[in-house]
Structure 1
Amino acid sequence: MASAVQKITLSSSRDIPFNKLVLSQSNVRRVKAGISIEELAEDIGRRTLLQGLSVRPVLDAEGAETGMFEIPAGGRRYRALELLVKQKRLAKTAPIPCVVRDPGSDILAEDDSLAENIQRAPLHPLDQFRAFQALREKGRSEEDIAAAFFTSVNVVKQRLRLASVSPTLLDVYAEDGMSLEQLMAFTVTAGHARQEQVWQAVSGSWQKEPYQIRRMLTEKTVRASDRRAVFVGLDAYEAAGGVVLRDLFQSDDGGWLEDVALLDGLVAEKLKTEAEAIAAEGWKWIEVAIDFPYGHTRDLRELEGVAADLTAEEQATIEALNAEYAKLEAEYDGADELPDEVDQRLGEIETALAAFDDRPVTYQPADIARAGAFVGIDSEGALSVDRGYVRPEDEAPVVEPDHDVDGESIVASPDGAESTAPIVQRAVITIGGQVAGPEDEDDEELKPLPDRLVTELTAERTLALQDKLANMPSVAFQSVLHKFCLDVFSRYFAYGTAMEVSVRSTSFPAQAHGLKDTPAAKAIDARRKAWEERMPKEKADLWDWLTGLTGDEQAALFAHCASFGVNALYEKGDRYGGGVSPHTVEQRIADADRIARAVDLDMVDAGWRPTVDNYLGRVPKARILEAVREGAGERAAQLIDHLKKGDMAKEAERLLAETGWLPEPLRMVDTQGEAVSEAAQSDVGGEELPEFLTEDDEEAATDEADESHMIAAE
């Protein structure tokens, strides 16, 4: 016969006057945690007590009940009630719902207190979000919800923002399939299909950090900090119907602009409007572009304008600002740290004084009629207007008394087309000189680098070499002297040299975006402007000015001028004599290598880093893996070898950022390896083999070419 299950008896509940309750010393909670007593009191005052107190009768020495009750579980609620009594918002004798424990129970008071505090399950964030959402749908404002639950409005917005995440992903999160941080990363966009697509892509990968999810969701957007967005303004973009993606869970620098086409259209429209206003000044031509390539003004003559004079009022303002600045400096001279308001005021004065240095420049009407201006956007997103450039074909004929003009000619436009129409550049993505096409994901063969990519890479190397040479006058002098010897002595040949001492400034027909913002380009421009500020404006005064320079100054100026003649560019040679021959290009690169070794050129020190734009996104996967393997090791290559090319290139950029890895065209040539190669070639004697016998050997040699060589195979 089965024994009967013993039924349990629950503790009775009753209302006890507040003044009959006291705190128990058996309460295990000692450390303050959670919301404050004041906040809990406000909550009880608004919605009354949601949970009763657990109490025990207080016994006297003989074990008889005294009529008082101690509280081992519920001490914070008691203190909140006590605060309400002190505030006269609750009567001292108000009945308090309590669960009364049997004083004869063998369960200790500490046991009750501990159980109440640890046997409670914290609310899942998803449940909190759904509760907030339910309140919002019933008409409660975000501010009311935040006030009711003693949290910030931003936290409520963050939780409500989770409503934009796909229900499928919410279910994954509810089953602990992703972290809260990962879930929050999906809120940057409201497209459920895209969210699910990204999760499917990362869920099976080792790389599914929140930053990776955000990057994938925003890879086709534009940062609000992008100069195009700053130029147009977020208000104008949103007024035109553009959507801004925002991240409520971390700093997003203003968010991401989703409609790139709309943004580019607004940029073009605003630039055109600005150009029309500038054209009204009387310029012959205006060129408009978001960004102009490096050296775009090199063959143009810049007009010498006259800066507008300061008015009496402006001069008085400058004097007052200088006096105030000097007074503040003197007052706080010797202070360890300036007060915030003083430091802010000094900054304001410096900004105001700097504004007076940027004076408007006036030009002669005749000069304006033959000159033009470039209109674009600077790196900070402000309008950039560069006025006063004259094209060679627009120059007025000048006859000097002591010169014959018979040999002079006016250079006409190559196609005879008018060049006065504004030009808005448009990006066309090309890879190796070809318009980007479908990616060959299965290309595992290590093919030579595309010719255009090598040209772009060596363009940056040429700039860095020019900058380095300009800072080493002795090497620059020797380089020019070397070229002179090649020209003068008949035993040498002069073609295929890197030092073009006629100083025909090297142009870069193929160049990567941002070439003019490289450290070398900025250093060259700064040095050129510094010399131009010192040089006389009139040509007749130049010789006497040069004579007055010290030897060191002449040497430095010589090196600066000579550096413009360096040409270390790779270009595809014409085997049939239609242009520069492959042998000439090879000789030029070899000559450039000698100069690079002499100035100790290091492209890593020059600021070059492999990125998706300048290399990794331009080569096949095999090249990307080769770069990571060389720069970061075999283990790093294995971590990304399963990724698609786009993701692989992005991860490779991160892995190679500080490794100092360089592609072959940017490395220094191994002179010892060159010597071995030349010796091997010199050992080959005898007559040349017939073409049909050398084809295979030539193809094999191309495939196994020395990767340290500076020229990529064709």
Structure 2
Amino acid sequence: MAKAIQKITLDRSEDIPFDKLELSQKNVRNIKAGVSIEDLASDIALRGLLMSLNVRPIIGENDEESGRYEVPAGGRRYRALELLIKQKRMAKTEPIPCIVKRGGATSVEDDSLAENVHRLQLHPLDQFRAFQTLHLQGLGEEEIAARYFVSVSTVRQRLRLASVSPRLLELYANDEMKLEQVMAFSITNDHVRQEQVWDTVSRSTVQEPYYIRRLLTESAVRAADRRAVYVRLETYEAAGGVVMRDLFDEDQGGWLQDPALLEQLVFEKLKTDAEQLQAGEGWKWVDAAIDFPYGHTSGLRRFYGERAEFTEEELARHDAVKAEYDKLDAEYAEAADYCEETETRLEELGNELDRLNDRTYVFDRDEVARGGAFISLGASGELKIERGFVRPEDEPVVETEETDADGHDGEGDDADAASTAGGVSINGKPVAVEPPEEDDDRIRPLSDRVIEDLTAARTVALRNALANDPVMAFVAVLHIFVLKTYFAYGYGSDSCLEVTLQSAKFTQTQGLGDTAWAKEIEQRHEAWGHDLPKNASEVWDYLIALDEVSQEALFAHCVSLSLNAVVQPWNRRPAAIVHAEQVARSIGFDMVGAGWSPTVDNYLGRVTKAHILQAVREAKGEQAAQLIDHLKKQDMAREAARLLEGSGWLPEPLRLVVDEAPAEDGNNGADEVIEDNPTEGAGVDPPAFLTEGAEGADTAPEDSDHEEHRQLDAAE
């Protein structure tokens, strides 16, 4: 005979005045966690009590109910209600909905533990969507934050997460995507793009948030880009531009999604600034561009202004400040103790002298009427203005046959050596087109164009180094003089110095003008240009009056501008290149010390995948090369740049050739290559992330995928 199923009877709910309740000492929750009692009280005042209290009758002396009840479950709610009574916001006799449990098979502690343990936290996605619903119902971000006791930025983050593509959120709900990945996708509202990137990432072994962000922003422009700084984000957004922002990670202002609009705004503002400069200063012409190629002033005569004269008031103030500074400085030099007040006063006086001495340059009006200026963007988004250039066709007609020696720009005037971009070399000959990239594993020779650009960068850097070594500059010129005087005709071409002071221009090499070497050369050239006499007939007397150190420095600067170590397919000049190596070795020059490192733009993005892997293999070893050998060309180049950073690796055209020594032990001179190109094999320990786990050649195969992900994380 079947047993009858016993029916469950639930405890009844009763409304009990608060003053008849007391907190049980058997509640298992003793450690504070979650929302504070004050915040919970505010929430109850707003929406009422959402959950009843669990109570048990307190038994008196005769085993009868005393009329009072203890609260073993719901202690935080009890304390919040107690706080409302203390604040006079609720009467102490207010009836409280309670579930009254009389007897039963479980203890007080058991019920208290069950209430806390069986509670299931809300899934984050449900919370995101709930916040979104409240926002759509008209609640502002600040009001939602106040109601749920979180910051406004937290509300914005959760609303942003709820706006991710529904398809991706469904994957997150089913534990097929991590929260960190959803956060990475939230930087854009473009659901189509989000899903495209996920389709790409889901098939890749690299699915980290940084990689998702990179793919989502690869066609955007950073807010820190000089173009964005110049135009200003407010102007870009007012014109309809959209800025992607990352609410979960440092984004340095975000990413501008419309590069075409940004370029248009830059050109419009540059045009306006150029027109204002031309109208305000009276130049015949002003050329404006985001960038000008290195050597864009070739063939133009440069003239300089003179500093504006002091007014009587300025001169009197300058003399007074200088006298006070000199007196205080002399007294302080003899003092035995440090004095902060004196240091501060000296700094104030020095700053005022700098302001007085920093006067604007005044140009000759006749020269301005026939001359012009270049206006472009500096590296930090500031306006860069280069004034005082005269085109050959604008030069005044000279009736005599005298040649004005200062009709040069100081960097050489050989027009035949000038170059133009777009497939024309520095000698005016066509540049070989880089051959199409072969996707096999063979190491093919570097293209002529890559070699020319690399050696052009080396030439500019070596020029700068030579300018800082006047003694060797003298020796270099003496070398070619001796060759031409004492040896057969033609040996002069064996020198890398073009002592006629023709100066090759490298306009085909993008970004060369932004290098530290080019900027230092430009600053030095400007300084001497302002110091030299404006009339060529006065230059001799000026040079005679110079001290020896200044003469040497000026000599080194002029000589350095003639150095040419560029390798071109039609003009390789092997003897001259050997001489360039001798000059570099004599002054202790190398491209690593000069600050060159391989990047996507200057090397890695312009060579084959085989060359990229070869570079990583030489610098970091085979294990590092295997980390990236599965990537596409663009991603491989980016990761290689990260791996090679600080390694000191150089492509062959930039390496300093070391004199060959007789090979021993069959190494065929491998030591010489290692000496000039420090790599793992040269005794330099590789980074930890490339060697962790490598001790064990017995590492389990099943761990290799995890290890690869961890190493890529470290590389990132």
TM-based fold match above 0.5: yes
Alpha-carbon offset, residue 553 of structure 1: 4.2
Give the conservation status (yes or no) of the 8 Å contact 1:664–1:708. no
Give the conservation status (yes or no) of the 8 Å contact 2:58–2:65. yes
CA change 1:504–1:2 in 2 (3 A) is farther
Structure 2 residue 367 is the aligned partner of structure 1 residue 367: yes
The one-letter code matched in structure 1 to 2:170 is D
Q: Counterparts of 1:154 and 1:615 in 2: how far apart (Å)? A: 42
Percent identity over the alignment? 53
Q: Counterparts of 1:370 and 1:219 in 2: how far apart (Å)? A: 45
Residue ranges of structure 1 left out of the alignment (5+ in a row):
416-422, 574-579, 681-705
Q: Counterparts of 2:548 and 2:404 in 1: how far apart (Å)? A: 38
Paired position in structure 1 for 2:684: none
Give the conservation status (yes or no) of the 8 Å contact 1:664–1:709. no
CA deviation map 1:159-179 (0-9, x unaligned): 222243211111111112222
Give the conservation status (yes or no) of the 8 Å contact 1:393–1:413. no
Structure 2 residue 386 is the aligned partner of structure 1 residue 389: no
SS of 1:643's partner is: coil
Q: How does 1:243-642 map to 2 (within 5 A)?
A: 243-280=242-279, 281-297=281-297, 299-308=299-308, 359-397=359-397, 442-491=439-488, 493-513=491-511, 515-532=512-529, 535-573=532-570, 580=571, 582=572, 584=573, 586-642=574-630
Q: Counterparts of 1:503 and 1:413 in 2: how far apart (Å)? A: 8
SS of 2:592's partner is: coil
Give the conservation status (yes or no) of the 8 Å contact 1:518–1:607. no
Q: Counterparts of 2:311 and 2:544 in 1: how far apart (Å)? A: 38
CA deviation map 1:190-210 (0-9, x unaligned): 222211111122223232222
Give the conservation status (yes or no) of the 8 Å contact 2:11–2:100. yes
Paired position in structure 2 for 1:52: 52
CA deviation map 1:137-171 (0-9, x unaligned): 22222222222212222222222222432111111
Paired position in structure 2 for 1:685: none
Give the conservation status (yes or no) of the 8 Å contact 1:16–1:95. yes
Alpha-carbon offset, residue 522 of structure 1: 2.6
Alpha-carbon offset, residue 372 of structure 1: 0.8
Alpha-carbon offset, residue 490 of structure 1: 2.1
Alpha-carbon offset, residue 544 of structure 1: 4.4
Alpha-carbon offset, residue 413 of structure 1: 13
The one-letter code matched in structure 2 to 1:112 is D
Residue ranges of structure 2 left out of the alignment (5+ in a row):
327-331, 333-337, 425-429, 678-716
Paired position in structure 1 for 2:81: 81
Give the conservation status (yes or no) of the 8 Å contact 2:439–2:608. no
Paired position in structure 2 for 1:224: 223
Segment drifting more, 525-534 vs 662-671: 525-534
The one-letter code matched in structure 2 to 1:176 is D
Q: Counterparts of 1:90 and 1:311 in 2: how far apart (Å)? A: 79
Segment drifting more, 269-278 vs 305-314: 305-314
Paired position in structure 1 for 2:239: 240
Alpha-carbon offset, residue 393 of structure 1: 4.2
Q: Counterparts of 1:15 and 1:317 in 2: how far apart (Å)? A: 88
Paired position in structure 2 for 1:651: 639
Q: Counterparts of 2:31 and 2:314 in 1: how far apart (Å)? A: 65
SS of 2:379's partner is: coil
Give the conservation status (yes or no) of the 8 Å contact 1:664–1:707. no
Q: Counterparts of 2:586 and 2:360 in 1: how far apart (Å)? A: 45
The one-letter code matched in structure 1 to 2:367 is D
SS of 1:304's partner is: coil
CA change 1:530–1:375 in 2 (3 A) is closer
CA change 1:313–1:249 in 2 (3 A) is farther
The one-letter code matched in structure 2 to 1:661 is W
CA deviation map 1:373-427 (0-9, x unaligned): 1111222223332222123443335589xx8569999999999xxxxxxx9x999
CA change 1:239–1:642 in 2 (3 A) is same
Q: Counterparts of 2:193 and 2:541 in 1: how far apart (Å)? A: 70
Q: Counterparts of 2:473 and 2:415 in 1: how far apart (Å)? A: 35
Paired position in structure 2 for 1:137: 136
Paired position in structure 2 for 1:23: 23
CA change 1:404–1:426 in 2 (3 A) is closer
Alpha-carbon offset, residue 542 of structure 1: 4.1
Give the conservation status (yes or no) of the 8 Å contact 2:185–2:194. yes
Q: Counterparts of 2:406 and 2:19 in 1: how far apart (Å)? A: 112
Q: How does 1:185-196 map to 2 (within 5 A)?
A: 185-196=184-195
CA change 1:351–1:384 in 2 (3 A) is farther
Give the conservation status (yes or no) of the 8 Å contact 2:299–2:414. no
The one-letter code matched in structure 2 to 1:505 is S
CA change 1:408–1:660 in 2 (3 A) is closer
The one-letter code matched in structure 2 to 1:565 is S
Give the conservation status (yes or no) of the 8 Å contact 1:393–1:412. no
Alpha-carbon offset, residue 300 of structure 1: 3.2
CA deviation map 1:227-273 (0-9, x unaligned): 11222222322232222222222332222111111211221222222
CA change 1:11–1:350 in 2 (3 A) is farther
Alpha-carbon offset, residue 93 of structure 1: 0.8
Give the conservation status (yes or no) of the 8 Å contact 2:304–2:529. no
Q: Counterparts of 1:407 and 1:71 in 2: how far apart (Å)? A: 102
CA deviation map 1:514-534 (0-9, x unaligned): x22222223333334444555
Segment drifting more, 454-463 vs 11-20: 11-20
* Aligned residues: CA RMSD: 4.2
Alpha-carbon offset, residue 51 of structure 1: 1.0
SS of 2:56's partner is: strand
CA deviation map 1:67-100 (0-9, x unaligned): 3222222221111111110111111011112223
Q: Counterparts of 1:158 and 1:353 in 2: how far apart (Å)? A: 51
SS of 1:671's partner is: coil
SS of 2:99's partner is: strand
The one-letter code matched in structure 2 to 1:459 is A
CA change 1:173–1:380 in 2 (3 A) is same
CA change 1:426–1:154 in 2 (3 A) is farther
Scaled by the length of structure 1, the TM-score of the pair is 0.80
CA deviation map 1:318-365 (0-9, x unaligned): 999999x99xxx9xx9679x9xxx9xxx99x99999777664443333
CA change 1:350–1:489 in 2 (3 A) is closer
Alpha-carbon offset, residue 462 of structure 1: 1.0
Paired position in structure 1 for 2:145: 146
Alpha-carbon offset, residue 564 of structure 1: 1.9
CA change 1:538–1:243 in 2 (3 A) is same
Count, aligned residues = 645
CA change 1:242–1:391 in 2 (3 A) is same
Give the conservation status (yes or no) of the 8 Å contact 1:306–1:361. yes
Alpha-carbon offset, residue 458 of structure 1: 1.0
Q: Counterparts of 1:297 and 1:290 in 2: how far apart (Å)? A: 16
Q: How does 1:99-114 map to 2 (within 5 A)?
A: 99-102=99-102, 104-105=103-104, 107-114=106-113
CA change 1:30–1:358 in 2 (3 A) is farther
Paired position in structure 2 for 1:174: 173
SS of 1:503's partner is: coil
